Amino acid sequence: MDNIKYITSDNVVSALANLPQLVFEVTDACNLRCKYCAYGEFYEDYDMREDKMLTAGRAILLINYLEKLWNSGLNTSATSNLTISFYGGEPLLNFSFIETIVHHIKHKVHCPHRKFSFSMTTNALLLHKYMDFLQENEFYLLISLDGNKENTEYRVDKAGNCAFERIVTNVNKLKEKYPHYFRTHVNFNAVLHNKNSVEEIYRFFKEEYDKIPRIGELNNVGIRKDKLEEFKRTYKNSQESLHQAEHYEEIERDMFMNTGNYRSLTLFLHQYSGFVYNDYTDLLFEKKEKLQNIPTGTCLPFSKKMFVTVNGKILPCERIGHQFALGKITENEIELNPEWIADKYNEYYARVESQCSKCRNSRACIQCIFNLENIDSKPVCYGYMNEQNFQNYVSHQMHFLKKHPEAYKKIMEEVFTV
């Protein structure tokens, strides 16, 4: 079992050369104390928060390492965008880092076949101080806000005071000063919980800013056992909340890919319609069904992004526990071993192969292996489908299409067409 190679070191190196997004955890410090924060009281699968700041020197060491791969023959992403993202904590608490990295990317990195852009997730409390810089460098901003004042009661400062008024004041300043930038580069991220609903969130951002927000559920992985009951009281399911809305079909249609039904249908059409082609060569040859399938829906390492923690740990994503680090940045070197990474993934894949090989929906699986319990021993997949489960899944997709026939064309033209 351990000898099966689902991926090789070449796959890892190729992903690094074609990396679409590099995310830096700029700091683990924050000027808010949100109750449900992924680094807060509910969770235990992250490094201790110690108000650290990531140094620009470490980040530049990594960028220089990756630049060689981006300029190599392994880079097949000609003229492709590469996003440099800043994450926290609250990233603007370490603004000097952001300023230095932006300058380095714009003036010291020379990758003629890659186009760089910048993005940031922020709570907006310091937006008034740095909005000129963000606008000048065309940052894509994702502002965290959970709806109206009552909806935002969990977003509090260190003294326990609700931050809603201060956030909205700064957002409105940005909108007034840079209206075009606000329209094209700013969006919102709301966390769903027991003090808001999908409808309330949607209405607030649509009416106040003419925006369709992203709405995320509380992370249900890595929860402390002593906080489980409180977590359950705070948690709210997004699909259930959407269907409780008075005009849920209108909201669902408008939110499109930000809703579960459209995301599920998109994946279904991608895998099962037979009309989606990755490139022109797919039109010339029959699709090979007998190729080795990789177990679960886990992203290949660095195929979507690379996440660097404030402690210099290198992960494939910010949504998984820090114990799954694939490498590290020290003060002097990059510790990243593609062979070890491939072997580690192959070990994980092998442990779930017996379940995946029998799963009827293995082609459209979205289960991340890092979110399974007992990953190092005997993981059990939550998304496993037997024949009956799969037929129910197919029936649900076809029912949704029958009810919303326009969805097929919209998905094919707006999601799949490039």
pLDDT tens-digit map of 20-63: 999 999 999 999 999 999 888 899 877 778 899 999 999 999 99
Supply the pLDDT for residue 79.
58
Gap between the Cα atoms of 220 and 57, Å rounded: 35
- pLDDT band (50, 70, 90) for residue 290: very low
Supply the pLDDT for residue 276.
72
Supply the pLDDT for residue 283.
55
Tell me the HSE value of 148 on the side-chain side, using a 13 A CA sphere. 12
Q: What is the pLDDT of residues 210-250, one digit of tens each?
A: 999 999 999 988 899 999 999 999 999 999 999 999 988 99
Instruction: Indicate the domain borders of the chain.
Output: 9-262+299-337
Q: Which fold has domain 9-262+299-337?
A: TIM Barrel (3.20.20)
Supply the pLDDT for residue 48.
78
Q: 2-20: buried (b, 16+ CB within 10 Å) or exposed (e) per residue?
A: eeeebbeeebbbbbbbbbb
Tell me the HSE value of 209 on the side-chain side, using a 13 A CA sphere. 29
Torsion over CA: 311, 314, 319, 320 (sign) = negative
Supply the pLDDT for residue 49.
83
Helices (H), 259-337: 260-272, 281-284
Q: What is the pLDDT of residues 363-378, one digit of tens each?
A: 999 999 999 989 999 9
Helices 338-356 and 9-17, packing angle to 10 deg = 110
Helices (H), 5-137: 9-17, 56-70, 95-107, 127-136
Supply the pLDDT for residue 39.
83
E strand or H helix at 314: strand 313-315
Q: What is the pLDDT of residues 164-209, one digit of tens each?
A: 999 999 999 999 999 999 999 999 999 999 999 999 999 999 999 9
| Strand ranges across the sheet with 327-329 | 214-216, 186-191, 140-144, 114-122, 80-87, 21-25, 306-308, 313-315, 327-329, 334-336
More confident residue, 273 or 301: 301
Supply the pLDDT for residue 277.
67
Contact assessment for residue 188 and residue 145, using Cβ atoms and an 8 Å cutoff: yes
| 286 contacts: CB under 8 Å, gap ≥ 6 | none
Looking at the chain, the whole-number percentage of residues with pLDDT higher than 90 is 81
Q: Quote the mean pLDDT of the chain.
A: 93
Supply the pLDDT for residue 282.
59
- pLDDT band (50, 70, 90) for residue 78: low
